Every structure is written in structure tokens, then in C-alpha cells.
Amino acid sequence: MEMKSFKVDEEAHAQLDMWKYVLGFTPMALVKCAIELQIADVVRGQESSICYMQTPLSRLLMKSGGNSIAALVLLESSHAMLAPWHRLSKSALISGASAFEAA
């Protein structure tokens, strides 16, 4: 009975991991959206009271600021950077071409 329970737990864990891989783009898309909508910049620019306040994480997403990584996030989530990953399996079948060369 214990072995069956272990197998069920193992399969549930595998399914959880797979869903994380399949939906792994979602957090990046949400961060990109927040940067493009300048949500962190709007919160910082509010002079009146607002329901949200800056956090160390939100300060990293501001388009302006010394420690901002907004430009890096936008670059890494751009079509030019993601296209090679969408062609990875095809390029693996083509001898001598990397995914980045194929895209």
C-alpha cells in the first residue's frame, strides 16, 4: 500500500512540474505587461494617497531608476529573443545549426 501511495505522490509531483513548465511563460508575460503599462511608475508618481506602495520588487520594474531591470525584461521577452526557443526542436534536427541561427 505504501508503494502505491509513493507512486501516486510521484505522479502528482510530475504533473505539477509539467504545469509549471507549460505555463512558465505566464509570470514573464505579467511582468512585461506591468512594465509596458508603467504600473510601478504610476504608483511612484502618485502624490495623493493610493492603495499600493512601492516594494523593492516593484522598484526594479520602473522604467526609470538606477536599479531598474525593466529594459532587460523587455529585451528578454521580445520576439527576437524568444524566436530561437520556438524553433529549438526544428534546429536540433538540422545538423550544424543552432536555434539562434535557425531563427
Place of cell 502528482: 12
Report residue 87 as a C-alpha cell.
524553433
Domain ranges of the chain: 2-77, 78-103
DSSP string, 34-60: HHHTTHHHHHHH--S--S----HHHHH
pLDDT in tens, 40-97: 888 877 766 566 677 888 888 888 778 899 999 999 999 999 898 888 888 777 766 6
Q: Three-state DSSP class for 86?
A: helix
pTM more than 0.85: no
Report pLDDT for 95: 63
If pLDDT is split at 50, 70 and 90, which confidence band does 102 have? Answer: low
DSSP 95: T
pLDDT in tens, 7-41: 778 999 999 999 888 888 899 999 999 999 998 88
